[in-house]
Amino acid sequence: MRILIVDDEPAMHDSYRRSFAGQRSDSGDALGAMAADLFGDDDGDEGDAPAAAPDFTLVHMLQGLDAVGQVEAALAAGDPFSVAFIDVRMPPGIDGRETAKRIRALDPEINLVIVTGFSDFSPIEISKVAGPPDKIFYIAKPFEVAEIVQTATALASRWAVDRELARARTALAEQIVQLEEQGAELAANESRAIHIATHDSLTDAPNRLAFVRALAERTRSEEMFATAMIDLDRFKLVNDTLGHLAGDALIREICGILGRAAPEGAMVARLGGDEFGILFATPGEDAAVMACDRVIAACSVSLQVFGNSVQAGASAGVVVTQGGQGGDPNDVMRRADLALNDAKRGGRGIVRLFDEGMDEGIRFRRRVESGLSQAIDKGELSLVFQPIVSGAAIEVVGFEALVRWNTREYGPISPATFIPIAEESNLIHELGDWVLTQALDVMKQWPGQYVSVNFSPRQFRRHNFVGHIMESVLRAGIEPARLQIEITETAIFDDAERAADTLYKLRQMGFRIALDDFGTGYSSLYNIRKFALDCLKIDKSFIDGMGRERESAAIVHSIIHLGRALGLGIIAEGVETEVQVQALRLAGASHLQGYFFSRPVTADLAAEMAATRFIGGEDDTDGDLLSSMRTGTQG
């Protein structure tokens, strides 16, 4: 380490040389003791041998200006001084106070030692211009050899430690900046993915997903609102005569007209093809019909499309709903669609308000609800199991339990039909308890796979949900880790704080938590961080669109990378082709599920799959393909 000596007396420089010439004498114990006394020794244990004094290189200057120049040159060469010993009175040049001030201005890290027998300045005056106080020290002349060497050793050691600490702080600051940049990039990617997922690529208007989400929010609010479905009249004729590009141009023009003609604050969405949806607040049915009449009148206009005059027109169906009653958004849209169909049958270019007479489905739903209440006692319910395989080895690691209802009166009824009906009534609790009990009972036949059970929003909000689940697995003699609880974000969105607490308790008890239909609900980085999750399930709609839509492929890749970055598993649902399998495996999906591997099977077949751990055999093409995937010969 380099030490600067500044004194106008040559004899003093000789004293410094003699002092440091003996720095490796037996004074090592004293040096170590002084360093420990001045700056502490947290790292060393009592009785450790003291560290040897460092090697010093002395640079001697007779005047302050020369010393300042040496400090500046040392800094420029990247070889700064650790300590400077400065005499106060050095005629005829600048004095020690001014020398210390200028050196400190050049090098804030250097340790300054003022060495003097008499001074025109007090230590406080010198400290004010050459501080900070913890980097300026004082030694009186004449000094002792040990005093000089011990001071230099202690201060040089601290100087080295301070520089190392500064480098560590700089490296840490750079890492923090990098993490912040990565976080900002991830947030930007999330924002872009959300926009792509919720907006129509042709018009940049909200799409069906965004419309259903907004409709769900309306049903929870207390405000009365109208839902209008709008369909263009004779749109197929435009596509057939002028081509699809002209059709696309017409769609964009109509979308703009709808946005301008819709009531203030309304949401206008393109739901697909030539179908649009409008969502707006209304004081009643008459006002809603009048608003839709104005929209339809605005659409009845002649437009120029690629140099051709096109007479546009539209029909509308509208339903008025009182919010705050937790209605099913899909049911509201279905009613508006029924009214739209009636408008088209009535001659086009008109508005129809929904009434119950249009809905034979309502009567059917009532019959379904009545039958579902007796389905368990009648033995009409059954469970099937769809395997979940690991993305790497194509090994069966679990099964999703799916309920089926085969009625004597209507035959098989789709879960998409009866589950929402059960959810709207308290039947969902009885149905859910039956599914959980049966799934846990069947799982006893498996050697180690887990079972994944879906829980509806109403089940999740059930009083003492955690205790009920724990009691079920204890009664069945099953380890909690073998039960995966599947929920959608809808189930946790209404009361996020309560949901976070519930999921935390379930995870603490060992249950697996999967967020189902990820990307179609209220997905956000905030939710993923807030809730205790094990994995994300990518919705089938995105998997279906991977081969056709660049946006769907981008969303799937974003979800996979996001999950991996957060340490979550990724289950891709609805996998039906080899191309999808290979793309998802390359993207890094940890687990796959879909018809490509197996349709939902009976409990007996599930037990056979669980025992063999793999799907397919040597006597079928799919078996050969799956075997080749396991051995790495595909892709």
Whole-number pLDDT of residue 326: 66
Whole-number pLDDT of residue 26: 43
d(CA 550, CA 284): 42
d(CA 75, CA 44): 32
Which candidate, 111, 186, 117, 191, places its Cα nearest to that of 151?
111
Structural element, H or E, at residue 536: strand 535-538
Lowest mean pLDDT among 6-15, 48-57, 61-70, 425-434: 48-57
Crossing angle, helix 496-508 and helix 465-476, to 10 degrees?
Answer: 20
**Residue 60 φ then ψ, to 5°:** -105, 130
By CB atoms closer than 10 A (0-12, 13-18, 19+), residue 379 is: exposed
Inter-CA distances, 303 with 237, 277, 293, 365, Å = 15, 21, 20, 44
d(CA 8, CA 483): 84
d(CA 605, CA 580): 25
Strands (E), 282-313: 302-305, 308-311
pLDDT at 610 over 60: yes
Please name every residue paired with 224 in a beta bridge, in sequence order, or none if there are none. Answer: 322
Question: pLDDT-derived band of residue 617, with 50, 70 and 90 as boundaries?
Answer: very low
Q: Is the N-terminal amide bond of 123 cis, ω within 30° of 0?
A: no
Q: Are 513 and 487 in contact (CB under 8 A)?
A: yes
Whole-number pLDDT of residue 46: 46
With vertex at residue 277, the alpha carbon angle to CA 273 and CA 280, rounded to the nearest 5 degrees, is 165
Lowest mean pLDDT among 166-180, 265-279, 484-498, 579-593: 484-498
pLDDT at 391 over 80: yes
Q: Which two tokens stand for residue 112?
A: 């300054």
169-192 pLDDT, tens per residue?
A: 999 999 999 898 888 888 888 888
Q: Is the N-terminal amide bond of 92 cis, ω within 30° of 0?
A: yes
Q: What is the dihedral of CA 550, 555, 556, 560, to 10 degrees?
A: 140
Please name every residue paired with 598 in a beta bridge, in sequence order, or none if there are none. Answer: none
SS (H, E, C) 74-120: HHHCCCCCCEEEEECCCCCCCCHHHHHHHHHHHCCCCEEEEEECCCC
Mean pLDDT to the nearest integer, 583-607? 94
Mean pLDDT to the nearest integer, 121-141? 81
Mean pLDDT to the nearest integer, 275-279? 96
The alpha-helical segments, DSSP class H, found in 95-205 are 96-106, 123-130, 145-198
Whole-number pLDDT of residue 601: 96
Mean pLDDT to the nearest integer, 321-330? 81
pLDDT > 70 in the chain, percent: 89
Strands (E), 165-322: 224-232, 267-272, 275-281, 302-305, 308-311, 314-322
Question: What radius of gyration do the chain's Cα atoms show?
Answer: 39
d(CA 304, CA 299): 13
d(CA 285, CA 528): 40
Residues 6+ apart with CB under 8 A from 173: none
Structural element, H or E, at residue 340: helix 329-345
pLDDT at 626 over 80: no
Please name every residue paired with 60 in a beta bridge, in sequence order, or none if there are none. Answer: 5
Whole-number pLDDT of residue 257: 95
Are β-strands 275-281 and 267-272 bridged in parallel, bridged antiparallel, or unpaired?
Answer: antiparallel
d(CA 183, CA 179): 6
pLDDT at 22 over 70: no
CB atoms within 10 A of CB 500: 15
Q: Which two tokens stand for residue 463?
A: 């009083």
Mean pLDDT to the nearest integer, 468-488? 95
pLDDT at 49 over 70: no
371-386 pLDDT, tens per residue?
A: 888 898 888 999 999 9
d(CA 621, CA 624): 5
d(CA 237, CA 239): 5
Q: Are 295 and 330 in contact (CB under 8 A)?
A: no
Lowest mean pLDDT among 181-195, 238-252, 510-524, 603-617: 510-524
CB atoms within 10 A of CB 390: 17
Lowest mean pLDDT among 249-253, 310-314, 345-349: 345-349
State in Å, rounded, how far the first CA of the chain is from the last one.
60
**Residue 634 φ then ψ, to 5°:** -105, 140
Please name every residue paired with 316 in a beta bridge, in sequence order, or none if there are none. Answer: 230, 351
Question: pLDDT-derived band of residue 53, with 50, 70 and 90 as boundaries?
Answer: low
Q: Are 397 and 421 in contact (CB under 8 A)?
A: no
Question: pLDDT-derived band of residue 336, with 50, 70 and 90 as boundaries?
Answer: very high
69-120 pLDDT, tens per residue?
A: 999 999 999 999 999 999 988 888 898 889 999 999 999 999 999 988 766 6
Mean pLDDT to the nearest integer, 349-366? 82
Whole-number pLDDT of residue 224: 94
522-535 pLDDT, tens per residue?
A: 555 666 777 888 99
By CB atoms closer than 10 A (0-12, 13-18, 19+), residue 51 is: middle
With vertex at residue 330, the alpha carbon angle to CA 455 and CA 286, rounded to the nearest 5 degrees, is 140
Hey, what long-range contacts does 370-374 have (CB within 8 A, 24 or more apart)?
A: 371/407, 371/409, 371/410, 372/405, 372/418, 372/421, 372/422, 372/427, 372/431, 373/427
Place of tokens 């450790």: 48
Question: pLDDT-derived band of residue 474, with 50, 70 and 90 as boundaries?
Answer: very high
Residues 6+ apart with CB under 8 A from 145: 18, 19, 22
